[in-house]
Chains A and B, each alone.
Chain A
């Protein structure tokens, strides 16, 4: 048995200790916004926030995640600047990669509240979007940063 918090709620799951958190979230807890695409931490689609840090849940075991505080896209309020900016800039195409990329953005902006284009390129260069929504992602990241600044963090 492993316990942790997901989006503010205590959860308990029975899984083998080495089970990737990705599959525990999806199969045991039914949180399917956390996507599987590569299983080897190459793409960033399974990203969740663990204690506020973006982590690729396909390479985090459930044992490692025990007692941690996990946030998935549902855990961000509907009016979160990143969500609002993603809609405003009409970012997603197929949309499969977006929840993970948005969560990585949340972590990035928490450390880099006023990012330059070069910083965005560097911080977001390790995610995959096959549809090619990158130009809009970049705009949305900038907008989310501006909105966050206005809201006073």
Chain B
């Protein structure tokens, strides 16, 4: 089934024909794919690729540019198979369309580290097919067999030394049939994949030219802020429309379902107008919820019977025979995405069409939502993906789309809905909190014989993809536990679904972000209980020479695990497998008498298959370390009186410059299928640090963010 979809979208020879959209004045349209037949663009073999008569090559990308590097990695793959001259390659973001849907998921989404790994064959085939068509066009021109021609650096070469450029061949190539099975390069022949390139989007970002969603503007556009319930389940009461309208620049107050929008000519007027509303809200459905209550609620859930998400062997029998058993509990907090650009969406609803401009991670969801609200068919809804100031999963949510479309309809003009930072914290779909209790047994040789893992956590999938939740098991909630990278003879995983009105959503690496901390910390506890080296203990429980084994070995070797530790410091490791990749981290820390932990160095090893864009991978690995340390030391959303207490970055500090350690990244070299990057580089950071802290102090930190009180001496 998967293959079929891939082939269909590949073979369609898609050409995006989108009416050029012009705005009044000098307003430039964002990157709408030009229609086929434009004289300057004679060759458009696929929706992803255009070759112009002047040799310019444009790669159209449907994935969201969140700064993760895929807007360079994707063009690198296509250009390599095409044998293009890299300096002639430009990248543009396409309007949402069928060919840009994920071939495995059937929807256009940027998430799950899928941008390349779900298109690995497709992207290479697009480049290879175009190259074959260009070569055949040259062969025909020269009246020689195509097999005698070669392509290199944007030209096709005749055996006698003559050559024609891709631009010169473009028109003739366009007449040729699209090959169904173009031959792909062997990895040894790659000339762009795996090489050092600079990111195509960086110059504009440095010059301040990049137009993020928040920066987008249209003639006659209103800016809208929406007053939303400040507490879970709170109902809209009275509000002072007149006071809002009295603010200069406020255009209209629009009540929506259980919320009120203030539309204004400027952002500041919208802010003042919303304040002036003085909205009254009911106390909400759970005024009892605060941090202490939540801790107790999770603890109680952990005592309830769960559903079995995995049951291998016979854990009870193995415990009965164990030489030694250990049991511990772990706690993880709710996390905010805290992406720097607040949520926003611009919509313009007209009679015959609806246009959306948004830094969305979910184009298909956006399109379908707008179609439903306007009554227009989805193809009449244009979704232009704007560059995003971070996202980490939150930008796939549709709330701002709903508001922007409803308000544009109500005002009959373009409307940009934006959230303030306070709105962003209050209305986030948080990374779920969780508590878990793990028990494991060792035999007399210090080998793990059984692992029983019970966890209580809310379910993201129940809201977003309920069909994926089977028999009460949310596959994301138990990820990293039931698929831990260890081959254990007896493994029991029980899941208790926590039901609370606190909204939860996808957050970088999803379930792995929480569960890897518990699994990899407890693995360390077991290694110490067994009196074994933490790296060797892990290796001993992995399939020998499998990829997790290799990536951990690479980390140990490159990070110098067996080399002398600098005085006063200690090391810890952790490893995870997720998103078709494998990553491990080593932390080197010291802890002073006041309990202050200093992370001196982090080493990351990653095996993501073919390393398409190595510097992009390194940047993501640095990002993973910093966000992981930020989680470990700082991040926790607080709740009070049944609502979100955390309101801004002052109450939700993220890691800053002076806390950033030296970071070393080692990328495994192999030619396997490309795996994910942005997420796999993250989950093993926090447990590696906790394990190093234990080594340094003998104190085990079983909760995130770390509570340093337990580390104070004397």
B217 touches A42 (CB 8 A): no
Residues of B within 8 A of A133 (CB): 619, 622-623
Which of A26, A73, A134 counts the most chain B CB atoms within 10 A? A134
A26 CA to B342 CA in the complex, in Å? 15
Tell me if A39 and B421 are in contact (CB < 8 A): yes
Contacting pair B202 A87 (CB below 8 A): yes
Asked if residues A121 and B658 are in contact (CB atoms below 8 Å), the reply is: yes
Interfacial residues of chain A within 69-91, with CB under 8 A of chain B in the complex: 72-74, 78, 83, 86-87, 90-91
Q: Which residues of B contact A43 (CB under 8 A)?
A: 340, 649
B657 x A132 contact (CB < 8 A): no
Whether B208 sits at the interface, judged by CB under 8 Å, is yes
Please pick, from B69, B212, B658, the residue contacting A96 in the complex, using a CB distance under 8 A.
Answer: B212
- Chain B CB within 8 A of A37 CB: yes
Contact B657 A121 (CB under 8 A): yes
Residue of A23, A39, A90, A137 with most chain B CB atoms under a 10 A cut-off: A90
Q: Is B663 an interface residue (CB 8 A)?
A: yes
Residues in B with CB closer than 8 Å to A126 are 656
When distances are taken between beta carbons in the complex, the residues of chain A under 8 Å from B265 are: 27
User: For residue B340, which residues in chain A have a CB less than 8 angstroms away from its CB?
Assistant: 35, 37, 43, 45, 94, 96-97, 128-130
A residues 21-46 with Cβ under 8 Å of B? 23, 26-28, 30, 32-33, 35-40, 42-43, 45
Most buried by B among A37, A74, A127, A137: A37
Q: Kindly state the separation between the CA atoms of A83 and B248 in the bound complex, as whole angstroms.
A: 39
Q: Which of B315-323, B325-333, B387-395, B399-407 contacts A (4 or more CB under 8 A)?
A: B387-395
Instruction: Point out the residues of chain A lying under 8 angstroms from B625, CB to CB.
Output: 132
CB of A127 within 8 A of CB of B208, answer no
Does B699 lie at the interface of the complex (its beta carbon under 8 Å from any beta carbon of A)? no
Chain B residues with Cβ below 8 Å from A127 are 656-657
User: Nearest-CB distance from A21 to chain B (Å)?
Assistant: 11
Inter-chain CA distance A27–B421, complex, in Å, is 18
Please tell me if the beta carbons of A90 and B657 are within 8 angstroms of each other in the complex: no
Cβ-based interface call for B660 (8 A) = yes
B22 beta carbon closer than 8 Å to chain A: no
Q: A136 CA to B339 CA in the complex, in Å?
A: 19
Cα–Cα, bound, A137→B657 (Å):
9
B273 to chain A, nearest CB (A): 13
A98 at the interface (CB under 8 A from B): yes
Task: Answer whether residue B205 sits at the interface, using C-beta atoms and an 8 A cutoff.
Answer: yes
> Are the C-beta atoms of A37 and B622 separated by less than 8 Å?
no
List the B side residues contacting A39 at CB < 8 Å. 420-421, 648
Tell me if B626 is interfacial: C-beta within 8 Å of chain A: yes
User: Does B199 reach chain A (CB closer than 8 Å)?
Assistant: yes
- Who on chain B is nearest to A20 by CB? B268
Question: A38 CA to B392 CA in the complex, in Å?
Answer: 18
Nearest-CB distance from B588 to chain A (Å)? 16
Distance in angstroms between the alpha carbons of A145 and B408 in the assembled complex: 48
Instruction: List which A49-108 residues lie within 8 A (CB) of chain B.
Output: 72-74, 78, 83, 86-87, 90-99, 102
Point out the residue from B198, B203, B268, B655 that lies within 8 Å of A23, measured CB to CB: B268
Number of interface residues of B (CB under 8 A): 57
Residues of chain A in range 97-148 having any CB-CB distance to chain B below 8 Å: 97-99, 102, 120-122, 124-138
A contact residues around B29 at 8 Å (CB): none
Q: Are B657 and A74 in contact (CB under 8 A)?
A: no
Q: Answer whether A122 and B654 are a contact pair too, CB < 8 Å, given A35-B214, A39-B421, A131-B390.
A: no
Q: How far is the CA of A15 from the CA of B267 in the complex (A)?
A: 12
On whether the beta carbons of A87 and B390 are closer than 8 Å, the reply is no
Q: Which of B199, B392, B625, B658 has the most CB of A within 10 A?
A: B658
A87 in contact with B203 (CB, 8 Å):
yes
In the bound complex, CA of A23 to CA of B202 (Å): 25
Known: A28-B266, A83-B206, A87-B203. A42 touches B657 (CB 8 A): no
Contact with A along B507-519 (1 / 0, CB 8 A): 0000000000000
Q: Which residues of B contact A38 (CB under 8 A)?
A: 421, 648-649
A16 at the interface (CB under 8 A from B): yes
Within 8 Å CB of B211, what residues of A? 32
Q: Is there a chain B Cβ closer than 8 Å to A19's Cβ?
A: yes
Is B683 an interface position by the 8 A CB rule? no
Docked Cα-Cα span, A130 to B248, in Å, equals: 35
- The smallest C-beta distance from A81 to any residue of chain B, in angstroms, reads 12
A43 nearest CB neighbor, chain B only: B649
Our pick among B215, B267, B654, B660 for the contact of A135 (Cβ within 8 Å) is: B660
Known contacts: A39-B421, A135-B663. The answer to whether A102 contacts B248 by CB under 8 A is no
Closest 7 A-B residue pairs measured CB to CB? A96-B389, A132-B626, A33-B208, A95-B205, A94-B67, A93-B67, A32-B215
Other contacts beyond A131-B67, A134-B657: 4, CB < 8 A: A87-B198, A95-B67, A124-B657, A132-B626
Instruction: Give residues in A with beta carbon < 8 Å to B.
Output: 15-16, 19-20, 23, 26-28, 30, 32-33, 35-40, 42-43, 45, 72-74, 78, 83, 86-87, 90-99, 102, 120-122, 124-138
25 A–B contacts from the bound complex (CB under 8 Å)? A23-B267, A26-B215, A30-B217, A33-B208, A35-B340, A37-B421, A38-B649, A39-B420, A40-B650, A72-B208, A83-B207, A91-B202, A91-B206, A93-B69, A93-B619, A94-B339, A94-B340, A96-B212, A98-B205, A124-B656, A127-B656, A130-B339, A130-B654, A134-B660, A135-B660
